[in-house]
């Protein structure tokens, strides 16, 4: 039985909690904006006045980066990797085994709350302004908007499952530096968050296409700018759904092993 | 009815052996050796509904490990546990509804939310009705003075406030059983006293079964009629507090204030172990000599201004039990 009301309460409380940390919201928004400026100027320099590169117009490329930075803000508002590791280390997560709820789901719903707060109070206002004042490509039909939102949401779930699984690995590893590096490498490069997959060398593109990370940034971004269009959108959503399924199973597996370890070895 | 039943309970932990030196470090990179640590060794007891039991032992005795097995977050290596008819580790979530738990060393409230938000969250988690929630909150607020910090984030609470919040939180869903693991640790005297009064009250009025671990002997003395004493993972005593006191508490302390100061005092049958100007502390064995005999002895040579006789602290009783070994223990009263 899924107790929606219970998990929804976590969403509400996390929303309120974010309101307490307003400074946090502003500083994150600040760094988000700085990265946006940085990637924007890098891509402007790379295009060097050309109208298009690799079959993609400069305007579309700039849009890709802006949307990507928006989604980075969304994904970054959830419980970050280091925080999960910290909760493992302090035993907070082990103690939650004592409660009548499912722990990975409870964190997901809490993340919905913090993300919603961040979107409403910071990301939407900023990016609305950006879209008004910059020359960017907007989807021409409302269907594309809807498909983009669905795709971005699935991407969020994929990222959540992967980040949580990586965080829970702290139950098994004493040193987690390597894990953190792999995670951030995959999140920034293989996901296509700063360089679209079509600019990758062939072998790397192939590799990225066989991994779940493209589902987090590349697919929703490409849908937004029309790089993926028509029936290809449905195929991409299918790929995302496949990966969210796989990543969810991975998370369940890691969580089962972790809770098993807690109850046998005492965390 | 026995609400808690524990039979031949054991818990071993595998602890990675620490290798010393460079060679050791290299070796442990390849293969770690583990040694078995027996945290709980063959403990059995049962507890009746409504009892308040002190689960006592020095640091590392296995108290928290036992409590964790009762809550279901640890699986026993062997033996049986039943809490309100449920095997905790097989049915952790169902067991959770029957128990309230407070770990003195850590809060179970949400660290950065105002205290009241944690309570509201727990209300949803345990599906407490609005009416019951309000009743409980009113009661706890009155006895524990929660209102002074309900809107403060948990991380800003003083230890005493946090403990009050934690114990109230553990009782919101009216659990029939309460586990308190070191609930007074680190508290000052006043806060300890408040806590004890509250624990006593909920045990009396709500008939909640309480297991309380502590190494604060005053807690036990004030709260528990029954104590289970454990050491090195084994049960060494299980029975009434009064019996332990009777058997091991034969020492009494006579404190006398003399009219004139700086007098040396000698008494036969008693031992002066402390003196401060004109005040003397004399330890004596109640079976060998009576207080009035001692007083008579002293009045022959001195003028007594004031005197008191003190019972021994349970602390010294326990340390005597440890020192003298367990063979002198009175027969276990309850098994
Ligand atoms: N997760 C664990 N892994 C290894 N050893 C542990 C673990 N938890 C407890 N122990 C050991 O088991 C013994 C009992 O611990 P504990 O139950 O916490 O004692 P107490 O609560 O009575 O102070 C101690 O020696 C402790 O070091
Ligand atoms: Mg302990």
pLDDT category of residue B326 using cuts at 50, 70 and 90: low
B148 and B44 assigned to the same domain: yes
Q: How many structural domains does chain B have?
A: 2
Share of chain A above pLDDT 70, in %: 99
- For residue B161, the domain's CATH number is 3.40.50.300
Inter-chain residue contact A265 with B92, CB threshold 8 Å: no
Inter-chain residue contact A100 with B72, CB threshold 8 Å: no
Instruction: Name the residue among B71, B75, B103 with its Cβ closest to that of A264.
Output: B75
Inter-chain residue contact A266 with B126, CB threshold 8 Å: no
Query: Above 70 in pLDDT, residue B101?
Result: yes
Ligand number with the minimum distance to the CA of B185 = 2
Domain final residue, candidates B211, B245, B279: B245
B192 and B302 assigned to the same domain: no
pLDDT digits (tens, 9 = 90+) for B1-31: 799 999 999 999 988 877 777 777 777 667 7
Task: Please compute the mean of the pLDDT values over residues B93-111 and round it to a whole number.
Answer: 91
pLDDT of residue B329: 57
Q: Which residues of B touch A107 (CB under 8 A)?
A: none
Is the beta carbon of B72 within 6 A of some atom in ligand 1?
no
B9 and B115 assigned to the same domain: yes
pLDDT digits (tens, 9 = 90+) for B49-73: 999 999 988 888 999 999 999 999 9
Query: Above 60 in pLDDT, residue A150?
Result: yes
pLDDT of residue B269: 86
Q: Highest-confidence range of A53-57, B105-109, B137-141, B259-263, by mean pLDDT?
A: B137-141
Is the beta carbon of B38 within 6 A of some atom in ligand 1?
no
Tokens (6 digits) for B131: 């009416």
Share of chain B above pLDDT 90, in %: 49
With CA atoms as reference, report the closest residue to B116 among B159, B172, B158: B172
B255 and B241 assigned to the same domain: no
Is the beta carbon of B61 within 6 A of some atom in ligand 1?
yes
**Interface size between A and B, measured as CB pairs under 8 A:** 64
Inter-chain residue contact B125 with A91, CB threshold 8 Å: no
B239 and B259 assigned to the same domain: no
Share of chain B above pLDDT 70, in %: 90
Is the beta carbon of B34 within 6 A of some atom in ligand 1?
no
With CA atoms as reference, report the closest residue to A225 among A65, A69, A70, A75: A65
- For residue B326, the domain's CATH number is 3.30.70
Task: Please compute the mean of the pLDDT values over residues B302-330 and round it to a whole number.
Answer: 72
Determine contact, residues B265/B272, Cβ cutoff 8 Å. yes
B327 and B194 assigned to the same domain: no
Task: Please compute the mean of the pLDDT values over residues B31-41 and round it to a whole number.
Answer: 88
pLDDT of residue A54: 84
Give residues whose Cβ lies within 5 Å of ion ligand 2: B 63-64
B291 and B226 assigned to the same domain: no
Is the beta carbon of B35 within 6 A of some atom in ligand 1?
no
pLDDT digits (tens, 9 = 90+) for A229-250: 999 999 999 999 999 999 999 9
B59 and B208 assigned to the same domain: yes
Q: Report the residue among B9, B13, B68 best suited for mutation to probe ligand 1: largest number of ligand atoms under 8 A from its CB.
A: B13
B28 and B173 assigned to the same domain: yes
Inter-chain residue contact B101 with A98, CB threshold 8 Å: yes
Ligand number with the minimum distance to the CA of B104 = 2
Q: Atom of ligand 1 at shortest distance to CA of B181?
A: 21
Q: Which residues of A touch B169 (CB under 8 A)?
A: none
Name which residue leads in pLDDT, A177 or B33. Answer: A177
Query: Above 50 in pLDDT, residue B335?
Result: no
Task: Please compute the mean of the pLDDT values over residues A105-117 and round it to a whole number.
Answer: 96
Determine contact, residues B310/B252, Cβ cutoff 8 Å. yes
Residue B129 lies in domain: 2-245
pLDDT of residue A31: 94
Query: Above 70 in pLDDT, residue B332?
Result: no
Is the beta carbon of B154 within 6 A of some atom in ligand 1?
no
B38 and B80 assigned to the same domain: yes
Query: Above 50 in pLDDT, residue B315?
Result: yes
pLDDT category of residue A124 using cuts at 50, 70 and 90: very high
B217 and B278 assigned to the same domain: no
pLDDT of residue B333: 41
Mean per-residue pLDDT over chain B, rounded: 87
pLDDT of residue A39: 94
pLDDT of residue B325: 61
pLDDT of residue B188: 87
* pTM of the predicted model as reported, rounded to 2 decimal places: 0.85
B269 and B240 assigned to the same domain: no
- Whole-complex ipTM: 0.84
Task: Please compute the mean of the pLDDT values over residues A158-162 and round it to a whole number.
Answer: 98
Domain final residue, candidates B225, B245, B265: B245
pLDDT digits (tens, 9 = 90+) for A184-232: 999 999 999 999 999 999 999 999 999 999 999 999 999 999 999 999 9
Inter-chain residue contact A265 with B89, CB threshold 8 Å: no
Q: Atom of ligand 1 at shortest distance to CA of B233?
A: 14
pLDDT digits (tens, 9 = 90+) for B157-203: 999 999 999 999 999 999 999 999 999 888 888 888 889 999 999 99
Look at A7-11, B179-183, B320-324 and tell me which has the smallest mean pLDDT. B320-324
């Amino acid at each position: 039985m899924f107790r929606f009301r219970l998990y929804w309460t976590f969403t509400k409380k996390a929303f309120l909690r974010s309101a307490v940390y307003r400074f946090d919201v502003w500083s994150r928004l600040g760094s988000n904006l700085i990265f946006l400026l940085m990637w924007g100027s890098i891509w402007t320099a790379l295009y060097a006045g050309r109208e298009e590169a690799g079959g993609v117009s400069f305007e579309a490329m700039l849009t890709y980066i802006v949307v990507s930075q928006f989604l980075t803000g969304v994904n970054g508002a959830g419980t970050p990797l280091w925080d999960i590791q910290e909760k493992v280390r302090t035993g907070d997560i082990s103690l939650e085994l004592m409660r009548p709820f499912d722990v990975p789901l409870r964190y997901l719903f809490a993340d919905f709350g913090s993300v919603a707060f961040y979107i409403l109070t910071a990301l939407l206002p900023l990016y609305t302004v950006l879209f008004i004042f910059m020359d960017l490509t907007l989807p021409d039909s409302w269907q594309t908007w809807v498909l983009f939102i669905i795709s971005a949401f699935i991407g969020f779930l994929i990222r959540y499952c992967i980040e949580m699984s990586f965080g829970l690995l702290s139950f098994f590893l004493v040193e987690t530096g390597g894990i953190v590096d792999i995670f951030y490498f995959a999140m920034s490069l293989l996901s296509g968050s700063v360089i679209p997959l079509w600019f990758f060398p062939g072998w790397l593109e192939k590799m990225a296409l066989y991994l779940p990370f493209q589902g987090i940034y590349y697919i929703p971004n490409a849908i937004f700018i029309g790089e993926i269009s028509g029936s290809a959108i449905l195929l991409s959503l299918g790929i995302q759904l496949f990966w969210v399924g796989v990543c969810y199973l991975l998370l369940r597996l890691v969580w089962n092993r972790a809770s098993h370890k807690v109850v046998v070895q005492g965390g | 009815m026995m609400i808690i039943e524990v039979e031949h309970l054991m818990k071993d932990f595998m602890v990675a052996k620490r290798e010393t030196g460079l060679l050791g470090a290299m070796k442990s990179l390849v293969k770690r050796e583990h040694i078995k640590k027996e945290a709980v060794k063959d403990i059995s007891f049962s507890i009746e509904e409504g009892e308040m039991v002190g689960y006592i032992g020095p640091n590392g005795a296995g108290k928290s490990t036992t409590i964790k097995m009762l809550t279901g977050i640890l699986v026993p290596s062997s033996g049986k546990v039943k809490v309100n008819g449920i095997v905790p580790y097989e049915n952790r979530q169902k067991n959770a509804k029957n128990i309230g738990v407070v770990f003195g060393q850590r809060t179970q409230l949400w660290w950065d939310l105002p205290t009241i938000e944690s309570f509201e969250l727990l209300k949803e988690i345990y599906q407490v009705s609005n009416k019951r929630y309000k009743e409980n909150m009113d009661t706890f607020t009155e006895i524990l003075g929660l209102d002074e910090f309900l809107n403060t984030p948990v991380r800003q609470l003083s230890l005493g406030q946090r403990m009050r919040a934690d114990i109230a939180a553990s009782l919101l869903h009216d659990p029939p059983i309460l586990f308190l693991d070191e609930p007074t640790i680190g508290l000052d005297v006043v806060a300890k006293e408040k806590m004890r009064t509250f624990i006593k009250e909920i045990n009396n009025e709500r008939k909640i079964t309480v297991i309380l671990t502590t190494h604060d002997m005053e807690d036990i003395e004030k709260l528990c009629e029954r104590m289970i004493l454990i050491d090195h993972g084994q049960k060494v005593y299980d029975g009434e507090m009064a019996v332990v006191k009777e058997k091991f508490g034969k020492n009494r302390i006579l404190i006398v204030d003399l009219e004139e100061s700086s007098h040396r005092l000698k008494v036969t049958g008693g031992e002066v172990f402390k003196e401060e100007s004109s005040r003397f502390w004399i330890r004596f064995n109640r079976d060998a000599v009576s207080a009035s005999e001692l007083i008579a002895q002293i009045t022959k040579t001195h003028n007594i201004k004031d005197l008191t006789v003190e019972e021994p602290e349970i602390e010294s009783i326990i340390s005597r039990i440890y020192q003298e070994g367990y063979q002198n223990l009175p027969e276990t009263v309850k098994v």
